[in-house]
Amino acid sequence: MSDVPVFELHDFSIRFADYRAVETLDLKVHRGETVAIVGESGSGKSVSVLGAMGLLPPGAEVGGERRFEGRDLNSLSKRAWNALRGGRIGFVFQEPMTSLNPLHTVGRQLQETLRLHQGLRGREAKRRSRELLDRVRLPRVNDMLGARPDQLSGGQRQRVMIAIAIANAPALLIADEPTTALDVTVQREILGLLDTLRREEGMGLLLISHDLNLVKSHADRVVVMKSGSVIETARTSALFTAPRTAYSRELIAAVPDGHPPPVVDEAPILLEIDRLGVQFPRPKPLLRRRPLDFVALEPLSISLRQGETLGVVGESGSGKSTLAFALLRLVRAHGRITFDGERLDRLNGRAFRQRRRQFQIVFQDPFGSLSPRMSVADIVSEGLRFHQPGLSNAQIDAHVGEALAEVGLPAHCGDRYPHEFSGGQRQRIAIARAVILKPRLLVLDEPTSALDRTVQKQLVQLLRELQARHRISYLFISHDLAVVRAMSHRLIVLKDGAVVETGTSETVFDAPRSAYTRCLIEAAGI
């Protein structure tokens, strides 16, 4: 590791009008070193890096020194910034769906960065693109090059982002929650890949994460932030064995635990699925026979009682989200869906819309699912205004305030917009939008993926309280097995669209029958 830092901040600060987002930050990243920034949502982790890289919106005031490879970043022109970002400095952002262009194929987006920074075109650019996708462990590379982001799972999209970030052999890679959307086995592979690149290329790695297990395993030094200030900086081993501050000790100890509220013996079956399956047609090649449909979800049958939580786990692309979308009729599926004694698969559009209030969903990507043009109050109240048009504005405001309070947000934040919040805060807004309608079934698709451990623990407790109070049923989809164990009564394990194991949560975690389930549990370290 070189004595000269590749990236350095000194007395760095960020102010938005009257709000000081970052008080002061001193940071150094050397070549071949991994430095992690940790802290709760809203602590200033991501905004510090965005400000240091000149990516904040107009009106933000940035102070202090920032240097990269000895160059003063405060004096860079717009053209110099554009050459630096994506070239010598690579980025992996928290939300891959909003970072990738939904209209362009993966291959085109990879080739664009190769053309802009290396001048590669044609066959050479395609060859290099294949190498990059193979490097980040993506299967069926040729198919991936022709796919659009919406055709990939969340984990696959994140791996595409990593491929783009490393395409130009950067001296510094900034990874903002790089494993947020990934299952535990792929998390280990991706962080291992980043470690290998760091060692082989002499690259500095700045890792922003709320997953302290990953930080403990992969970082050399850790910077702990709270409310825009650095409260502790230490070698990783020293921080985890003897943290100096109470806040650091709280972060390290914040692991979701406990059990969900018990299901009452007489609880009726709320949801019953019989032979539900999903197939997607493949495009027909010119002058060739149409290929067989892609089976995203093999026919499965499950039931869910009132007040019960069914956890769904598996690797990225295993069919977890497809199951949720099929259940809510957001994708075309075959099979029988019975909700509260009524066949949902037989309802027409109008009748189904009237039923939709009773089952809501919280999506995996909180920023992509929130309209940037709507205030928080409008986002949270949108469903309420549709399903209860007779409510007055005062009544709606009261319901919004109650919903925001339930997810740990103050009522006055209703006048703000999604871009003003951290990733974890945006997820809480999405949850408030769902629970305001008091649904009987709530589908949670990776609801804690963007949250730090302390907020995860609070959210788990909140969901338990809501379930105990209103007897809501949850379909809980997650790759975070610690959260799944704390939330679920029963568990279903999916692999490649098929069920490999089912059972009570205790049985599956304590005595898994399949090798695949054992691999998932081992990778999660629980």
Q: Once rounded to an integer, what is the mean pLDDT over residues 314-331?
A: 88
pLDDT at 475 over 90: yes
> What are 515-525's pLDDT values in tens digits?
999 988 887 76
Distance CA 39, CA 61 (A): 22
Mean pLDDT over the full length of the chain:
89
Q: How far is CA 519 from the centre of its chain?
A: 22
pLDDT at 154 over 80: no
How many helices (H) and strands (E) would you count in the chain? 20, 20
Per the DSSP assignment, residues forming a β-bridge with 90 are 173
* Reported pTM: 0.74
Q: Would you place residue 400 in the very low, low, confident or very high pLDDT band (cuts 50, 70, 90)?
A: very high
What percentage of the chain exceeds 70 in pLDDT? 98
For 254-283, the three-class secondary structure string (H helix, E strand, C coil) is CCCCCCCCCCCCCCCEEEEEEEEEEEECCC
Angle between helices 393-406 and 423-435 (to 10 degrees): 130
Range from 54-58, 124-128, 375-379 carrying the lowest mean pLDDT:
54-58
Q: Would you place residue 292 in the very low, low, confident or very high pLDDT band (cuts 50, 70, 90)?
A: confident
Contact 215, 205 (CB under 8 A): no
pLDDT at 1 over 60: no
For residue 166 the two structure tokens come to: 């490393």
Note the pLDDT of residue 68.
95
Distance CA 156, CA 159 (A): 5
Q: Once rounded to an integer, what is the mean pLDDT over residues 79-105?
A: 87
Q: Once rounded to an integer, what is the mean pLDDT over residues 113-124?
A: 92
Contact 277, 325 (CB under 8 A): no
Q: Would you place residue 306 in the very low, low, confident or very high pLDDT band (cuts 50, 70, 90)?
A: very high
pLDDT at 2 over 70: no
CB contact burial 14-35 (16+ within 10 A = b; e otherwise):
bbeeeebbbbebebbbbbbbbb
Note the pLDDT of residue 298.
94
Q: Would you place residue 409 in the very low, low, confident or very high pLDDT band (cuts 50, 70, 90)?
A: confident
Note the pLDDT of residue 173.
95
Contact 183, 204 (CB under 8 A): no
Q: Is 75 exposed, middle or buried (0-12, 13-18, 19+ CB in 10 A)?
A: exposed
> What are 336-394's pLDDT values in tens digits?
999 999 999 998 888 888 888 899 998 877 777 889 999 999 999 999 999 999 999 99
Note the pLDDT of residue 425.
82
Closest to 49 (Cα-Cα) out of 33, 27, 70, 30: 27
Distance CA 465, CA 258 (A): 13
Note the pLDDT of residue 450.
64
Q: Once rounded to an integer, what is the mean pLDDT over residues 442-448?
A: 88
For residue 183 the two structure tokens come to: 């299952």
* Phi, psi for 441 (deg, rounded to 5): -130, 130
CB contact burial 304-332 (16+ within 10 A = b; e otherwise):
bbbbbbbbbbbbbbbbbbbbbbbbbeebe
Note the pLDDT of residue 200.
84
Q: Where are the alpha helices (DSSP H) in 277-359?
A: 320-327, 349-355
DSSP string covering 185-245: HHHHHHHHHHHHHHHHHT-EEEEE-S-HHHHHHH-SEEEEEETTEEEEEEEHHHHHHS-SS
* Residue 461 CB partners (closer than 8 Å, separation 6+): none
Q: Once rounded to an integer, what is the mean pLDDT over residues 240-254?
A: 92
List, in order of start, the domains of the chain with CATH numbers. 5-253 (3.40.50.300), 269-524 (3.40.50.300)
Q: Once rounded to an integer, what is the mean pLDDT over residues 475-486?
A: 90
pLDDT at 431 over 80: yes
**Any idea how long the chain is?**
526
Closest to 417 (Cα-Cα) out of 376, 377, 382, 369: 376
pLDDT at 504 over 80: yes
Contact 414, 404 (CB under 8 A): yes
pLDDT at 125 over 90: yes
Q: How far is CA 356 from the centre of its chain?
A: 25
